[in-house]
Amino acid sequence: MNPVRIQPRLATRLAAFLLLAATAGLPGTAAAHPHAWIDLEVDFERDATGQLVRMHHLWQFDPMYSEYLHEDALAHQEGDSDVERLNALAREILDNLEEYDWYTHFEAEGHAIEVRPEGEARMEKDGDTLEYRFTLALEGAPDPARTPVAYRVFDPTYFIEILHPDERPPQVRGAPECEVEVDRPRPDPAMVARAMALDYGAEPEENLGRHFADRVTLRCD
């Protein structure tokens, strides 16, 4: 089954729902990718030596997909309260995303940096949107004062579009000397046409979502 997704950017984007068992039959989905949107907020932690050690994710799902996920969690997840059911869904999504490296692709000097989840995933309702939070530990990431680090976060099938909002750029905690550069995607028109031609449930080309993802570079003085 397809991973998760959402809708226009808070009216422009949302993200892949990752509960690999719940997306078939999303309401209102038709031809063309993406079908869901996520606003992505990211911040990093460095250790005493300057190395990047953690990447904190906040995903904000568009209102339509938020409503779908919220209703699904209350109907199918275990728990004595809405909070417990939403957090059960958060854990399930985190487990299901392992196959996709949590949609997170890191590199330094052309070498991949491995990621793994750390701590508990959480989901909560904020008005008409759902917010999903989780943390990834970075395995062997360098000090960005010595080596620039770059990453992309994307659903490889491009069922969900995931982008950083202009008003919430990535940041490094407690490090004003660090600079973050966000390069917006500029997909070839032919690539856009191929994505628009994909029906719901169609098999996209491998890593289609990479062409529609922000590329973020971190450097520190």
Q: State pLDDT tens for residues 74-93.
A: 999 999 999 999 999 999 99
**Is pLDDT at 98 greater than 90 in this prediction?**
yes
- Return the pLDDT at 201: 63
**Mean pLDDT within 12-35:** 46
Cis peptide before 176 (omega within 30 of 0): no
Burial string for 139-176 (b: 16+ CB within 10 Å, else e) reads eebbebbeebbbbbbbbbbbbbbbbbeeeeebebeebe
Structure tokens, 31:
């031809």
Q: Is the pLDDT of residue 22 over 90?
A: no
Say how far apart CA 104 and CA 69 lie, in whole Å.
Answer: 22
Partner residues linked to 137 by β-bridges: 54, 116
Q: What does the CA dihedral 111, 132, 212, 100 come to, rounded to 10 degrees?
A: 50
User: What pLDDT score does 31 carry?
Assistant: 57
Question: What single DSSP character describes residue 101?
Answer: G
**pLDDT score at 198:** 79
Residue 193 in tokens:
């046409």
For 178-207, the pLDDT digits (tens) are 999 999 999 999 888 888 887 666 667 778
- pLDDT at residue 2 above 80? no
pLDDT for the residue 193: 87
Distance (Å, rounded) from C-alpha 104 to C-alpha 91?
A: 17
Q: What is the pLDDT of residues 29-52, one digit of tens each?
A: 455 678 889 999 999 999 999 999
For residue 113, how many C-alpha atoms fall within 13 Å in the half-sphere facing its CB? 26
The confidence score (pLDDT) of residue 54 equals 97
Query: Which token pair is 165?
Result: 């909002």
Count of CB atoms within 10 A of residue 191's CB?
A: 16
**Looking at residues 83-110, what average pLDDT do you find?**
95
